Amino acid sequence: MSSNEYSPAIIALTTDFGASFYVGQLKGVLATLAPQARVIDLTHEIEPQSIRHGAIVLQDSIPWFPKGSIHIAVVDPGVGTDRRLVVADFDGRLVIGPDNGLLSALAADSPPRRIVQLNKPEYWATRPSATFHGRDIMAPVAAYLANGGEVEALGDPLQTLHPSPIPQVAYRYESDLEIIEGVVCMADRYGNVLTNVRIQDLPALTQPRAIHEWKLVIEGLENPHPGRIDRREISIVNTYGDANSGEWVALIGSSGRLEISIPNGNARDCLAGGLRRFHMVRKGTIDPSSSFSR
């Protein structure tokens, strides 16, 4: 369905700036240096300074953009320290950002073809500020790439990125139970909470309803009775239509990621406090050695 005509370069922006004038200044630099490029707001509503939130959003969103697209990603609590800036090539999409884990969930899905550290100041603004490298370094670099520049010119090659802030899913058995251990990573605008478990992390589901075999168990929820630990078993459903209003459910969301929700409610408030753990459990029904192979 795609067009085959000449297309302008695309520069997409993912930041924790909100809709502030900091975005405007960055766009002003792009309009000056790469006037032909099409600039797209992917989102500016990353939770301020949350590398984990940013990493999930990039992992779930960048693949929807075309090959050849250029991305500026700014969630950068270490700006002004000696953290590195990099550009990495994920299956033809170039992502520019700090090497603080922000790009590392992407890398887990699609090992970068090349990574270059941005250490050639001749491609930056003349005197970069100490606190706004998005405008002063990343935007000029993105413009250079949009104008046809070469990734390799921008600095020295790197072999690896900073480790991902998203823990890996773990698997274990207990007597005849299969158990998958995950963590809650972030909430979306609707109060759904997204986890590190994705559909490809689950044993092959031989039929659509097979997801019902699993229960999700989460402990330590906020509870009005101090001293009590609240443990909750949550059903896993196929669509929100299968859930009752106000009842906790889990399902595989539109990015293939397990999310926990309270339809017409807000799961976010109950899950405050960082990387909360949960597990999924079902009776082992088939040979374990094949069950967890993918």
Q: Cβ 116 to a copy of itself, closest distance in Å?
A: 18
Strands 70-74 and 10-15: parallel
Q: Are 281 and 220 a contacting pair, CB within 8 Å? A: no
Q: Is 235 in the site for a copy of itself (CB under 8 A)?
A: no
Residue 204 and residue 286: Cα distance in Å, rounded?
Answer: 11
In the list 3, 245, 289, 290, the residue contacting a copy of itself (rule: CB under 8 A) is: 3
Residue 189 and residue 198: Cα distance in Å, rounded?
Answer: 20
In the list 135, 276, 279, 282, the residue contacting a copy of itself (rule: CB under 8 A) is: 135
Q: Which is nearer to a copy of itself, 128 or 220 (CB)?
A: 128
Q: Are 172 and 181 a contacting pair, CB within 8 Å? A: yes
Residue 36 and residue 143: Cα distance in Å, rounded?
Answer: 10
In the list 224, 241, 246, 274, the residue contacting a copy of itself (rule: CB under 8 A) is: 241
Residue 236 and residue 215: Cα distance in Å, rounded?
Answer: 6
- What track of x and - describes contact with a copy of itself for positions 6 through 25 (by CB under 8 A)? -xx-x-x-x--xxxxxxxxx
Q: Cβ 244 to a copy of itself, closest distance in Å?
A: 15
In the list 212, 240, 281, 288, the residue contacting a copy of itself (rule: CB under 8 A) is: 240
Q: Is 132 in the site for a copy of itself (CB under 8 A)?
A: yes
Region label for 98, one of left (φ > 0), alpha (ψ between -120 and 50) or beta (otherwise): beta
Residue 33 and residue 50: Cα distance in Å, rounded?
Answer: 29
For the chain, the straight-line distance linking the first and the last C-alpha, in angstroms and rounded, comes to 31
Q: Which is nearer to a copy of itself, 235 or 291 (CB)?
A: 235
Q: Is 61 in the site for a copy of itself (CB under 8 A)?
A: yes
| Residues at the contact surface with a copy of itself, assessed by CB under 8 A | 1-3, 5, 7-8, 10, 12, 14, 17-25, 27-29, 31-36, 38-45, 48, 57, 60-66, 69, 80-81, 123, 129-132, 135-136, 140, 143-144, 147, 188-190, 238-241, 253-255
